[in-house]
Structure 1
Amino acid sequence: MKKVGIILGIIWFVALGLSTEVCAQKSFQPKQIDDPWKGIIYRKESTADFTITGNGYGLAFNTGKIVTYYKTHYYHFELGYMYDPREQRQNRNIPISFTKVSQSFRFGKQNHVYVIRAGKGTKKLLTDKAKRKGVTLGYNYEIGPSLAILRPYYLELVYNFEEDGRFYNELRTEKYTEQNAAKFLDFNSIFGGTTGKGWSELGFVPGIQGKLGLFCSIGNFEKYAKALEVGLMGDLYIKKNSYHGRNRSDQC
């Protein structure tokens, strides 16, 4: 009888242990509680963006006042650079001495064009975001002044001349003018480009600029804004900015 009691006791202990383990594996779904506090409502926002267009690029800073969840009024400040899409960087690789070799240049370029833009705009949201990691669509528009800063583009040109019955070649660093237009746009007369010249000869052309964009914003009630934007932009100046003469193929 003692042996049986011991065996039954062991079986009861083991059964109790298994029962406890099974009970521990049970789970239940708690009732979901909606948190009325969705996040922090901000009154102001500041953003920085980098823009790439078909004829330039720019770096901008924006500061705005959030009027409602769906609307923000902002001010835009931008520094950019414009170029002609036809420009091609090339190098004739002409050595003139052991220490001087031709530098690369852009054929037909007349001016570097830097742009300062400012504007006042409005940003509007079209959809709501999810509570966590939501995505929303919206659009913005702005208008304001624009200032083009022209810096002359210099080339090293080859001049051939005769002196005392001997022929010489001379390099002259020149910018584009009506007087040297034929030489400046003659590919065979170009030795190469230069760097760092023209800063004392800046020209200024005022105008206006405008933008219209569609953006996709990521996150809801986030401290840092994240968005991707595509759209249209344009600059209108009081006179034509001559930053490119003509293509090499135009010489034919």
Structure 2
Amino acid sequence: MSKLKLLLPVLFFFVYFESFSQRDDVGNYEYDREYFFGVNKNTNGGLIGGIVFKAGTRIDDSQFSFWGIELSNVKNPKEARYTTVLGNSYIFGKSNYLYAIRPHYGREIILFKKAPNQGVQVSALAAAGPTIGIIAPYYIEYAVSRVQTVKEQYNSEIHQSRSNILGSGGLFEGIGKSEIAIGATLKAALMFEFGVFRSSATGLEVGYMLEGYNKEIPLIPTAENNQIFQSAYFTFFYGFRK
């Protein structure tokens, strides 16, 4: 009797799986194009690493080609945030931001299909493309005397007293003094797609990215800086199809 109790759930699973695999609507797609918007989190970024847009076109029942563009803020692993006596925050030693603009093109292969209105679809994808790096100065507010403060790019030879730093400048302050670095990006990932509607989908992309530039990026001049960055990332997507 005990063996029968153990066997019944197993039989039920196989019967359910067999009936599901024979459904006519499994893998039936009524769309040729898809458009996704996403928010990225990666090991080289902050709480939100960047934003992504991706557009895909069907090649056949199991393949899509896609192009996309990603905007991201790349950080040095040594960055540490401090709080001033005024309650403001800043990153000590940081001299530059790196904003990466990554247009890319790639292919997506569906590994496990799902029914249009239920289940999870799993795809593998790879993409490559050029990268435009915008190296923007990181500004701080610094007290040069008891009555005078200045906002200027952090310089380790000048701004040596941490107690004189009152906060950081605006996110895009000094963007007009930026420099450009040219590079390239490669990435590979798995895409897990959820959703109950044919016309829309929600997904999670988990992957690895390798990015290189034509010169070293001096994010923190007193620390080790790189011209090649690698990161693990995940991106939450929401999109629609037609």
In structure 2, relative to structure 1, the CA distance for the partners of 1:43 and 1:102 (3 Å cut) is closer
- Answering whether residue 47 of structure 2 is matched by residue 58 of structure 1, we say no
SS at 1:184's partner residue?
A: coil
| Contact 1:129/1:219 (<8 A) preserved | no
| Contact 2:84/2:163 (<8 A) preserved | no
* Runs of 4 or more consecutive aligned structure 1 residues displaced over 4 Å after TM superposition: 34-40
2:66 equivalent in structure 1? 74
In structure 2, relative to structure 1, the CA distance for the partners of 1:191 and 1:35 (3 Å cut) is closer
The one-letter code sitting in structure 1 at the alignment partner of 2:56 is G
Distance in 1 separating the partners of 2:177 and 2:220: 17
- The percent of aligned pairs where both chains have the same amino acid is 26
1:216 equivalent in structure 2? 192
| Contact 2:125/2:190 (<8 A) preserved | yes
**Once the two structures are superposed, what CA deviation does each residue of 1:202-237 show, in whole Å capped at 9, x if it has no partner?**
111111011100122224772112221211012100
Give the TM-score of the pair, scaled to structure 1.
Answer: 0.69
What's the RMSD between the two structures over aligned residues?
A: 2.7
Which of these residues, 137, 152, 166, is aligned with residue 137 of structure 2? 152
In structure 2, relative to structure 1, the CA distance for the partners of 1:68 and 1:244 (3 Å cut) is same
SS at 1:234's partner residue?
A: strand
Distance in 2 separating the partners of 1:36 and 1:194: 59
Which of these residues, 229, 232, 238, is aligned with residue 214 of structure 2? 238
Pairwise mapping of residues 21-40 of structure 1 onto structure 2 (< 5 A)? 40=29
Distance in 1 separating the partners of 2:110 and 2:154: 48
Which of these residues, 156, 160, 179, is aligned with residue 203 of structure 1? 179
Distance in 1 separating the partners of 2:29 and 2:142: 63
1:171 equivalent in structure 2? 149
**Once the two structures are superposed, what CA deviation does each residue of 1:106-126 show, in whole Å capped at 9, x if it has no partner?**
101111221111000001111
Distance in 2 separating the partners of 1:106 and 1:194: 11
Distance in 1 separating the partners of 2:211 and 2:217: 11
Give the TM-score of the pair, scaled to structure 2.
Answer: 0.71
Distance in 1 separating the partners of 2:114 and 2:87: 57
Distance in 1 separating the partners of 2:112 and 2:23: 21
- Answering whether residue 97 of structure 2 is matched by residue 139 of structure 1, we say no
Pairwise mapping of residues 118-133 of structure 1 onto structure 2 (< 5 A)? 118-130=103-115, 132-133=117-118
SS at 2:121's partner residue?
A: strand
| Contact 2:116/2:198 (<8 A) preserved | no
Distance apart, 1:190 and its partner CA: 2.9
SS at 1:222's partner residue?
A: coil
- Answering whether residue 165 of structure 2 is matched by residue 190 of structure 1, we say yes
The one-letter code sitting in structure 1 at the alignment partner of 2:182 is P
Which of these residues, 68, 71, 80, is aligned with residue 88 of structure 1? 80
User: 1 or 2, which has the higher helix percentage?
Assistant: 1
- Answering whether residue 89 of structure 2 is matched by residue 104 of structure 1, we say yes
The one-letter code sitting in structure 1 at the alignment partner of 2:30 is I
In structure 2, relative to structure 1, the CA distance for the partners of 1:69 and 1:136 (3 Å cut) is same
1:46 equivalent in structure 2? 35
The one-letter code sitting in structure 2 at the alignment partner of 1:111 is N
| Contact 2:117/2:198 (<8 A) preserved | no
| Contact 1:108/1:185 (<8 A) preserved | no
| Contact 2:136/2:179 (<8 A) preserved | yes
| Contact 1:107/1:185 (<8 A) preserved | no
Larger radius of gyration: 1
Distance in 1 separating the partners of 2:196 and 2:87: 55
- What 5-or-longer segments of structure 1 have no aligned partner? 1-31, 94-100, 161-167, 248-252
Greater RCO, CA 8 A, separation 6+: 2
SS at 2:186's partner residue?
A: strand
